[in-house]
């Protein structure tokens, strides 16, 4: 890398602070550490949008960094509903219905209006100042489609970051073969214009190479989600009940996640071993949602459940550090083996044992590497129950597993940003 030269990168990211959740954190933390490696970021992102997870701690951190952020509006549903500010997540069935309608009428997604405005603004910026690369965070994949068309006009390398699959993803719904074909065609042409593809795990890489044979192994770089070590230094630990084992979940139950199997397994424990149940609490950080509250009430588990509600990122990290075991699940869906929730690496950063109810795939592979993990199938209630017994016995004997520092250190966001910068550097002469 040239020591005296400052490179400039234009970041296109719909999801960015003050919005929250793991996709926002990934892009924002890349931006945070780029200057350490000689790259100056300019971010094109949304203006006011209706959203259910605003994050003050991330926004305060952004404001302290003096990053150039250009905010633009579109006419997508989130912008049109922006006057309502923070929303509550709808019931899962309503969210799914809305998602089906959205995917029926908008291809590739309902952010097309914003992506068009972002491409227009990017065109204007590129016409008046020099940038060395463009980095597009997706989803939304409409941003990738629109921005990728600028590559030839300005002879600028474009790097796309896949946080999830596009074509035939676990979230996709195709009402007709034409819809499916259009998605694949749009992704094909967008990838043809990309100079490098970044993905979060090996399963996404394998899927892309299999679907688009023109992509080579070298075209796609795996940069996993990670954790920011400064978040763990700056967060405040919270007190925990003496003697009780805390099983904690942090995140949202949308699409591929549900606590119902865990709750039903724990209900069996309250009947079989009430003495053990009395020494366990299950904590939820995020939106537990009405349907899950109803299930807790139906199972009469209220005394064992603590709902912290949605909290900002730093508070979430502090609460994670106060837990004994961290839990998450990934339910069975098509191509679900390619999903690896961002929260997993925040769990890893805490060095806490992880209890995961997951199918075979990227998430299971990551946890096997982590080592300090307990893995069972997503919906086998008896298996989940027996795993809780096993974890509790280890907890009672102060013998819960601890991961190696070597494994954990690999996922520091500052080091992952260095890997991304090497991708940028490799494409400067394209």
| CATH number for 249 | 3.40.50.2000
Query: Does the residue 91 lie in any domain?
Result: yes
State the total domains in the chain.
2
Residue 124 Cα distances to 44, 120, 159, 165, angstroms: 12, 6, 19, 30
CA dist 227 and 370 (Å) reads: 14
The domain of 304 spans 229-409
In this structure, are 107 and 197 located in the same domain? yes
Check residue 2 and give its pLDDT. 45
In this structure, are 420 and 390 located in the same domain? no
Question: CB within 8 A of 179, min separation 6: which ones?
Answer: 103, 104, 107
Query: Does the residue 220 lie in any domain?
Result: yes
In this structure, are 203 and 251 located in the same domain? no
Residue 292 Cα distances to 52, 133, 258, 310, 330, angstroms: 17, 45, 8, 15, 16
Place of tokens 């960015």: 16
CA dist 247 and 304 (Å) reads: 10
Check residue 430 and give its pLDDT. 46
In this structure, are 206 and 269 located in the same domain? no
Check residue 1 and give its pLDDT. 46
CA dist 42 and 34 (Å) reads: 11
How would you write the pLDDT of the chain (430 residues) with one tens digit per residue? 445 678 999 999 999 999 887 789 999 999 999 999 999 999 999 987 767 778 889 999 999 999 999 999 887 777 666 666 666 776 777 777 888 888 888 899 999 999 999 999 999 999 999 999 999 999 999 999 999 999 889 999 999 999 999 998 888 888 999 999 999 999 999 999 999 999 999 999 999 999 999 999 999 999 999 999 999 998 888 887 778 999 999 988 877 789 999 999 999 999 999 999 999 999 999 888 888 999 999 999 999 999 999 899 999 999 999 999 999 999 888 778 888 888 999 999 999 999 999 999 999 999 999 999 999 999 999 999 999 999 999 999 999 999 999 999 999 999 999 999 999 999 986 4
In this structure, are 298 and 405 located in the same domain? yes
Query: Does the residue 1 lie in any domain?
Result: no
Query: Does the residue 204 lie in any domain?
Result: yes
In this structure, are 398 and 420 located in the same domain? no
Query: Does the residue 322 lie in any domain?
Result: yes
Query: Does the residue 2 lie in any domain?
Result: no
In this structure, are 63 and 191 located in the same domain? yes
Check residue 87 and give its pLDDT. 67
Place of tokens 């005394």: 303
State the DSSP code for 429.
T
Return the sign of the alpha-carbon dihedral for residues 263, 313, 111, 145.
Answer: negative
Check residue 61 and give its pLDDT. 94
Check residue 49 and give its pLDDT. 75
In this structure, are 340 and 205 located in the same domain? no
Rounded (5°) CA angle 230-236-238: 140
CA dist 155 and 150 (Å) reads: 8
CB atoms within 10 A of CB 122: 25
Q: Which two tokens stand for residue 17?
A: 């602070």
Q: Which two tokens stand for residue 420?
A: 């991304």
Check residue 84 and give its pLDDT. 65
* pTM attached to this predicted model: 0.91
Q: Are 140 and 14 in contact (CB under 8 A)?
A: yes
In this structure, are 100 and 147 located in the same domain? yes
Strand (E) positions, 218-322?
220-222, 245-250, 280-285, 305-309
Q: Are 371 and 347 in contact (CB under 8 A)?
A: no
Check residue 6 and give its pLDDT. 86
In this structure, are 287 and 191 located in the same domain? no
In this structure, are 277 and 189 located in the same domain? no
In this structure, are 306 and 272 located in the same domain? yes
């Amino acid at each position: 890398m040239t020591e005296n030269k400052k490179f400039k990168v234009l970041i296109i990211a719909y999801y960015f602070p003050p919005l929250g959740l793991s996709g926002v954190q990934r892009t924002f933390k890349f931006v945070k550490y780029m200057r350490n490696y000689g790259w100056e970021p300019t971010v094109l992102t949304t203006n006011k949008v209706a959203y259910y997870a605003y994050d003050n701690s991330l926004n305060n951190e952004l404001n302290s960094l003096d990053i150039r952020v250009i905010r633009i509006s579109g006419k997508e549903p989130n912008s049109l509903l922006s006057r309502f500010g923070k929303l509550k997540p709808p019931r899962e069935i309503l969210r799914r219905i809305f998602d089906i309608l959205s995917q029926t009428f908008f291809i590739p997604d309902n952010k097309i209006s914003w992506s068009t405005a972002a491409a227009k603004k990017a065109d204007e910026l590129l016409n008046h100042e020099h940038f060395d690369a463009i980095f597009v965070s997706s989803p939304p994949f409409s941003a990738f489609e629109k921005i990728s068309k600028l590559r030839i006009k300005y002879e600028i390398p474009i790097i796309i970051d896949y946080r999830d699959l596009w074509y035939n993803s676990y979230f996709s719904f195709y009402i007709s073969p034409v819809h499916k074909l259009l998605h694949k065609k749009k992704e094909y042409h967008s990838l043809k214009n990309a100079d490098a593809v970044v993905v979060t795990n090996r399963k996404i890489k394998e899927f892309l190479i299999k679907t688009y044979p023109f992509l080579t192994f070298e075209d796609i770089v795996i940069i996993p989600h990670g954790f920011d070590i400064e978040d763990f230094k700056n967060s405040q630990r919270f007190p925990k009940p003496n003697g009780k084992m805390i099983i904690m979940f942090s995140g949202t139950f949308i699409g591929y996640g549900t606590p119902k199997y865990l709750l039903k397994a724990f209900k069996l424990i309250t009947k079989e071993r009430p003495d053990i149940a009395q020494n366990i609490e299950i904590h939820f950080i995020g939106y537990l949602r009405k349907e899950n509250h109803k299930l807790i009430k139906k199972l009469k588990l209220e005394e064992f459940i603590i709902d912290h509600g949605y909290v900002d990122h730093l508070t979430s990290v502090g609460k994670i550090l106060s837990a004994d075991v961290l839990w998450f699940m990934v339910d069975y869906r098509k191509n679900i083996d390619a999903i690896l929730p961002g929260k997993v690496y925040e769990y890893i950063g805490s060095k806490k044992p992880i209890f995961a109810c997951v199918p075979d795939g990227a998430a299971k592979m990551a946890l096997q590497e982590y080592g300090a993990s307990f893995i069972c199938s997503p919906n086998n209630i008896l298996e989940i129950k027996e795993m809780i017994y096993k974890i509790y016995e280890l907890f009672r004997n102060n013998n819960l597993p601890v991961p190696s520092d070597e494994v954990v250190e690999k996922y520091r966001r500052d080091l992952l940003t260095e890997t991304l910068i090497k991708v940028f550097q490799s494409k400067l002469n394209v």
